[in-house]
Structure 1
């Protein structure tokens, strides 16, 4: 417990340190390249050819560095954080995250239209993952550390601790419990405090004082929510379509990165406001210094610039660019309100609609309305618009989910075949598919084989069904066997003559699909087929074991084991002997620096060591005969719970 608490504090410190370092490097990088830390001011002062070519050069550099990150082992990105925390799968590797952060810096310093928050949030999650492995914490506590690091990174990026906690609760975990809330809140509080000490404690967009002139304006904020609920999914759809199109372009990644930057540079010739993450332009919109039809043009241009940057390989978030879109949309609505609902003494008061628009579009792209509303009043220090913010973000999130089921973060998971819908339990159940719990080589006979061959197999222990491959898949079961044993002419029959068609399942059917289909089967198993080929069967027993391992998290009936085939990661579920577990156990200190075979673990504790994960290694490996444990090594051990606990105690 002490190590876990220390890790939570440390992950908050690391999240803040990286955020501070990233922001300082970005500021100095902009100063070195543009002569000022203000990207908008710097680009406005550049000659036309520099505006055009600088983002292209930065896009090429970012794409080159991203290629190195892709080759680095392990995952990166918010989608991996979601998978790691909620599903207990995937590992976040800091080398890949750091390379992506470097690429993001290269793009941002040259005007790329991406958010700086992506790298900061990913580093926080990666730091939690690294600390969990380094301190040899249990898997559950490591997942909580990843969540705490994610919250710390978000809080340090935006100076918004409450929104950071809600980001984790609404987006990353989807559930609220004391075991997740406490470490996340502590880490975000530490990260926010350190960031404020180093950079300043004022809201990022300055202290604001917006207010409703009349309660009728709540209708305008609801209308803004509807508009944002359409703009958000439209932006995500365009981004997804662009990413798909770019993957089909037969050009080197460096050239694609340069082309994406060239699009940004072309837009920046007339609209330098589209460069960077959008911070400076948002300030101008909130101050009503960008008004009128220009906001409509910037709404489209910023979306195009962000799509070009992200789809061409510049890594970074789209969170802040989405706020830009919302600010522009809100500014447009705010310009109309005085002519429709209420007159205003100062056009600057329309900035309240820009702030509400920021929150509404964020809610539409993330499907997290309360996080978005909280973020808006933390970014501005203005709580007076809390009711309009909640109304607008709720409407935007609801409409957006009706239009597009995936958020900006869950779409990547869906592309990788990991559904992210429903409750956490449903997500866990959807994450396990038939291929994961497949029983290979079920009993089978050829269609032209004598029936007696099938009857012999059905007479074997634990065999209830014998399959006849073909299209469609057919089978003979114990009911058929009872009937055939009394048939005097059975010796003249062939298996194909008497086999009956059976329902089948696909390799990617989830636990929920399998449960519904197995409910109606007599013999508790279903064949798994792919394009007419019989791959194996899924049994009711395997289904219950997978539910126990993945949903209940007990690892009592089955355990999930990761394996590697041809350089690719795969997973299997293995049935454990009665009253046995498989766990990773840190090597006790008393066993260090001496051959493991001299410890006689099987005789002393009744456990079997099946593999070892050496300190800092991503994968487990076979235990060598002369293996000597070192500090930080972990053993993959099978044994009874009491035996495993005794082994931990040394």
Structure 2
């Protein structure tokens, strides 16, 4: 039964008001987390450069260099990835199994099931294993391990302090996003990635600290690695309406490629799971596939930032484009399915840019590398199911600001194709296989759009503590919770019909217990639900905000479903609001029309 209080216009209600001081505290803590994430990103990039130089060039240098930039003995190209994968398998077996994979699903799992707690050893083992994998030729990026490492930094700091699980989650994500920003000099895309993939909410309590960490990390990157875009392109005029429309081509094909790559990853994972050997040896088999692919196209090995730059600037040859598109996709999918350590973004960048570059030979020329840029945005949007991140990432990586419209077309169309044809993304499929449910849809909580006074039972049956049970029983047949007041109509507790029946012959006071949940008429239903959950009850007494002892009504768990029913009605009920009225034709008008 809904209350008799007239419904008032529903307004936006900021439920986080009471936690604003905590938000500021977590934002302050996120600043050093962002700085530490930037240092971790720098250390990882240097470590990757060191191992790559030692393995492929037999020199001591920390500069990033491509494994396939020079000719190497065939045995080195074939067996270096196998050796690196064996090291990773041993580290995962005897160190921590959490280092397996590309980092983002592991961070998501820590948030969903581990109360955002990451073991300190993961903060060390993950970047080291990734550096070994990439430095020995693994076709991966540094961003996944950085997400896990930066997240571990934030989580460890949070575990040292007296914080809630949600606050630990915020610092974990702050570290992860900070590492991303430092790696790619893409602050806005890193914030969007945090929102679209890791936070599972868009609320001030988490958004502000994450932004603080990202800004700090980006500033630190400027001193450590410079402020230039990673794949900067020369300024070019806006491509025009024709190019905007034709961006559907790399968008749709990018979505199909994203589906194929995701399917290959999990086909490989299923294949490895059927092998009669311990998972510790799987990365070595994946490493053998990497080495074989490297013999066919050496430029597919390693992070491949130099190859991405050639693709985006229109300097890639046809053989390189085809080699990357085929070989990189295959060895990345197979090796990632084997459970090795490495990120997915850089390979996705390269594969997407190669797709766009390949299609650029068939589409009208716009500017050098234009279609490769569209392909990059498309495949990121399709593989990661993060279209906004795909758009902004591409813009921040290239500074091709005039290409915004075609990038929107490419990324959103690839995302649409991926959603229509594939149930889960490369990230959420891994989470689902661990028997976890992950929603990627954001909507307004219907409990936030209604107030307690709109659904409560107004003027409920109120009992007085001095009444005898025999006097009250005839009035207590329909409700299940009764507020109990004293002689001045002040709330002192609650009772139920069952409690009254057990106190036959005595007074109502003997059957009264404290009210475990009270709320106010202007509380949102979300706040009411929180109070019911905290009090471990299914009903709450509604009291006046100005006079907390004055009873205004009772709200039940069943009445909270009113908001959900309204939300379902708005989603599924279809009706015609405006109807076109036909003007009747009179005989005279019909005669004149015939004339």
Please state which band the TM-score falls in when normalised by the shorter chain: 0.5 to 0.7
Is structure 2 residue 321 aligned with structure 1 residue 295? yes
* Aligned pairs for 1:260-271 within 5 A: 260-271=286-297
Q: Which moved more, 1:34-43 or 1:115-124?
A: 34-43
Q: Offset at 1:287?
A: 2.7
Contact residue 264 and residue 333 of structure 2 kept, 8 A: yes
- In structure 2, relative to structure 1, the CA distance for the partners of 1:17 and 1:179 (3 Å cut) is same
Q: CA deviation at 1:290?
A: 1.8
TM alignment of 1:498-517, pairs within 5 A: none
Residue 167 of structure 1 contacts residue 368 of structure 1 at CA under 8 Å; is this kept in 2? Answer: yes
Choose 262-271 or 155-164, whichever is displaced more.
262-271
- The 3 A distance-change label for structure 1 pair 138 and 124 is same
Q: How does 1:492-503 map to 2 (within 5 A)?
A: none
Bigger relative contact order, structure 1 or 2 (CA pairs below 8 A, ≥6 apart) = 2
Flag the 1:38–1:87 CA change in 2: closer, same or farther, 3 A: closer
1:390 is the counterpart of 2:416 = no
* Contact in 1 for aligned 2:93/2:280 (Cα 8 Å): no
1:353 corresponds to which residue? 371
Which residue does 1:13 correspond to in 2? Answer: 35
2:346, 2:67 → 1: CA distance? Answer: 18
Q: How does 1:302-321 map to 2 (within 5 A)?
A: 302-321=328-347
1:118 Cα offset (Å)? 0.9
Q: State yes or no: 1:363 paired with 2:381.
A: yes
Aligned partners of 1:43 and 1:51 also within 8 Å: no
For residue 288 of structure 1, give the secondary structure of its aligned residue in structure 2.
Answer: coil
CA distance in 2: counterparts of 1:103 and 1:320, whole angstroms: 17
The Cα shift of 1:422 comes to 5.5
Alpha-carbon distance in structure 2 between the residues aligned to 1:116 and 1:43? 19
Q: Tell me the distance in 2 between the aligned counterparts of 1:166 and 1:11.
A: 18
Partner of 2:554: none
Q: 2:358 aligns with which of 322, 328, 332?
A: 332
Q: Give the corresponding residue for 1:257.
A: 283
Distance 1:38 1:24, change over 3 A: closer
1:272 Cα offset (Å): 0.6
Q: TM-score, normalised by structure 2?
A: 0.68
Residue deviations 1:233-269 (CA, integer Å, cap 9, x gap): 1101110110111011123445432221111111111
Q: Distance in 1 between matches of 2:237 and 2:41?
A: 32
Residue 3 of structure 1 deviates from its aligned partner by: 4.6
- Asked which structure has the greater CA Rg, the reply is 2
2:125 paired with 1:107: no
- 1:43 CA drift (Å): 5.5
Q: Quote how far apart the aligned CAs of 1:383 are.
A: 0.5
Q: Contact 1:75–1:92 (CA<8 Å) still a contact in 2?
A: no
For the Cα contact (< 8 Å) 2:138–2:302, is it kept in 1?
Answer: yes
| In the alignment, structure 1 residue 220 sits paired with structure 2 residue 246 | yes
1:289 is displaced (CA, Å) by: 2.5
Label 1:68 to 1:358 Cα distance change in 2 as closer, same or farther (>3 A): farther
Residue number in structure 2 paired with 1:283: 309
Inter-CA distance 84–252: structure 2 relative to 1 (3 Å threshold): closer
Would the aligned equivalents of 1:76 and 1:92 in 2 still touch at CA under 8 Å?
Answer: no
Alpha-carbon distance between aligned partners in 1 of 2:286 and 2:94, rounded to the nearest angstrom = 19
Measured in 2, the distance between the counterparts of 1:73 and 1:403 equals 31
| 1:52 alignment partner in structure 2 | 78
2 CA distance for matches of 1:297 and 1:10? 42
Q: Could you tell me how far 1:209 is from its partner in structure 2? A: 2.9
| Shift of residue 318, structure 1, vs aligned partner | 1.1
Residue 192 of structure 1 deviates from its aligned partner by 0.8
Structure 1 CA distance for aligned equivalents of residues 345 and 96 of structure 2:
22
Please report how far the alpha carbon of residue 200 of structure 1 lies from its aligned counterpart in structure 2 after TM superposition. 1.1
Q: C-alpha displacement at 1:357, in angstroms?
A: 0.9
Cα 1:134–1:193 change in 2 (3 A) is same
1:216 shift after superposition: 1.0
Whether 1:380 and 2:417 are equivalent positions in the alignment is no
Aligned-residue offset at 1:70: 3.5
Q: Distance in 1 between matches of 2:100 and 2:529?
A: 26
Contact persistence 2:49–2:65 (CA under 8 A): no
Say if 2:48 is the partner of 1:26: yes
User: What is the rounded CA distance, in whole Å, between the counterparts of 2:100 and 2:394 in structure 1?
Assistant: 34
Give the corresponding residue for 1:195.
221
**Contact 2:116/2:169 (8 A) holds in 1:** no
Q: How many Å apart are 1:206 and its aligned residue? A: 2.6
CA RMSD in angstroms comes to 3.2
In structure 2, relative to structure 1, the CA distance for the partners of 1:294 and 1:224 (3 Å cut) is: same
Write the distance in 2 (CA, Å) between the matches of 1:426 and 1:364: 25
Distance in 2 (alpha carbons) for counterparts of 1:10 and 1:183: 11
Give, in whole Å, the separation in 2 of the partners of 1:142 and 1:554: 23
**2:440 corresponds to 1:412:** no
- What is the aligned residue count? 438
2:156 aligned with 1:134, yes or no? no
Quick check: 1:62–1:313 contact (8 Å CA) kept in 2? no
User: Counterparts of 1:172 and 1:183 in 2: how far apart (Å)?
Assistant: 14
Check 1:248–1:220 CA distance in 2 against 1; reply closer, same or farther (3 A cut): same
Give the superposition deviation at 1:80.
4.2
Residue equivalent to 1:399: 417
Q: Does structure 2 conserve the Cα–Cα contact (< 8 Å) formed by 1:66 and 1:315?
A: no
Tell me if structure 2 keeps the 8 A contact 1:88–1:143.
no
Contact 2:115 2:165 (C-alpha < 8 Å) held by counterparts: no
**In 2 relative to 1, CA 62–86 (structure 1 residues): closer, same or farther, beyond 3 Å?**
closer
Matches within 5 A, 1:21-170: 21-35=43-57, 37=63, 39-40=65-66, 42=68, 44-70=70-96, 77-85=103-111, 89-170=115-196
Gaps of 5+ in 1: 430-550, 560-573, 580-650
- Aligned partners of 2:529, 2:114: CA distance in 1, in Å? 13
* Counterpart-to-counterpart distance in 2, 1:302 and 1:236: 14
Distance 1:356 1:577 in 2: 53
Question: Secondary structure of 1:269's match?
Answer: helix
Measure the CA separation in 1 of the matches of 2:102 and 2:404: 34
- The Cα shift of 1:38 comes to 5.0
CA distance in 2, matches of 1:137, 1:375: 32
CA distance in 1, matches of 2:291, 2:322: 19
Segments of structure 2 that go 5 or more residues without pairing to the other structure are: 1-21, 448-525, 541-595
Tell me the CA shift for residue 88 of structure 1. 7.8
Per-residue deviation, 1:49: 1.6
Kept in 2, the 8 Å contact 1:59–1:107? The answer is: yes
Equivalence map 1:443-454=2 (5 Å): none
Tell me the CA shift for residue 53 of structure 1. 1.3
- CA 1:210–1:29 in 2, change beyond 3 Å: closer, same or farther? farther
